Amino acid sequence: MSPDGDLLAILTAGQLDESYAKTAHGVLRYGPREVVCVVDATHAGRRAVDVVPFCDHPAPVVADLASAQALGATTVLLGVAPVGGKLTPAWHALLLQALEQGLSVEAGLHTDLRTYPELAAAAGRSGAEIRDLRASPPDLDVPSAEPVDARVVHTVGSDCAIGKMSVVLELDRAARARQLRSVFVATGQTGIAISGWGTAVDHVVSDYVAGAADRLVRQGADRGDLLWLEGQGSIYHPAYSGVTLGLLHGSSADALVLCHRAGRTRIADYPRTPLPPLPDVVRDYEAAAGWVKRARIAAIALNTAGLDDAAARAAITEAQEQTGRVTDDVVRFGADRVLDAVLTGLG
């Protein structure tokens, strides 16, 4: 997906400080891709570290594509997830200009940019590439059933959108800080934008979800020996449980980290669907994994957003006592306790 030596300019079109720019924020926070600048006229003249919360990236914010190119950018990444995933006329004009200037374009919209004839023509003229972050690999198949030469840790969750990707990114970063050959393996478009490779498993033909996961861990095993495979959805989610189970079974996970939002008792998208108590969530995920390959929940990553520090600590202690698994908020309090529990679990 991402050629070596790729130098990124991230486009945020006035929204660098807003939550819509979550792709930009993820890439700036977690690397490892080289970002030479952000293109955002509203915030031009400042640095990413000054604008983006929880981010220490020094990349300058510039006003236009010409400035990005002067800084050596070779690829522009659409850093904002537009509402509905649609391409607005303003974005269309900006991406067309980038392609005409010979800059490659990377995006994860619902529509593949290559289907816009004028964008495809501009890329053809300048030799720039258009990369669709959600595109499925053309040669997917079912899993191979051969062992994977790496240890695989997979995040699973009680619900969607509770931080499964951030948890594996934090754990991967903490593991790399310990000089482990650790690799983040992306299964969704934002993760792919961050790491520069991966497969959006929610977008593949349903028969190939497990096969896509199997392929990803084999690709990961070529890059390192401790793999953090991003989870998707929840076995309790009425719409997405199939993706969750296919990914779990295709992952060959050796250990699981359960992600949960403190206090959540119902599926957010389907409030008529209750969540069981946390110890039952642990039991159900271990049972589901064991249908194909046994894997233990080595630790719990609790998302305590919205709680003050004392309430967050109390929620962590309660979850740990209820489940008997090491529990922490890895984004808020650091990943080391959970990482220790995972590494101990892997033996």
Binding site for a copy of itself (CB under 8 A): 142-143, 145, 201-211, 235-236, 238-247, 249-250, 269-270, 272-273, 284, 287-288, 291-292
Q: Compare residues 17 and 284 and give the one whose CB is closer to a copy of itself.
A: 284
The residues, ordered by sequence, that sit 6+ positions from 89 with a Cβ below 8 Å of its Cβ are: none
Output b/e per residue, 128-157; b: 16+ Cβ within 10 A.
Answer: bbbbbbbbeeeebeebeeeebebbbbbbbb
d(CA 36, CA 263): 40
Q: Compare residues 184 and 208 and give the one whose CB is closer to a copy of itself.
A: 208
Q: Compare residues 29 and 164 and give the one whose CB is closer to a copy of itself.
A: 164
Q: Compare residues 40 and 159 and give the one whose CB is closer to a copy of itself.
A: 159
Q: Compare residues 217 and 312 and give the one whose CB is closer to a copy of itself.
A: 217
Question: Minimum Å distance from CB 270 to a copy of itself?
Answer: 5
Q: Compare residues 91 and 236 and give the one whose CB is closer to a copy of itself.
A: 236
Question: Minimum Å distance from CB 86 to a copy of itself?
Answer: 16
* Other beta carbons less than 10 A from residue 112's beta carbon: 16
Question: Minimum Å distance from CB 199 to a copy of itself?
Answer: 11
The separation between the first and the last C-alpha atoms of the chain, rounded to the nearest angstrom, is 33
Radius of gyration of the chain (CA): 20
Q: Which DSSP string do the residues of 279-340 spell out, in sequence order?
A: HHHHHHHHHHHHTTS--EEEEEEEE-TTS-HHHHHHHHHHHHHHHSSEEE-HHHH-SHHHHH
**Closest Cα partner for 63 from 87, 89, 81, 45?**
45
Question: Minimum Å distance from CB 292 to a copy of itself?
Answer: 5
Question: Minimum Å distance from CB 212 to a copy of itself?
Answer: 9
Question: Minimum Å distance from CB 289 to a copy of itself?
Answer: 11
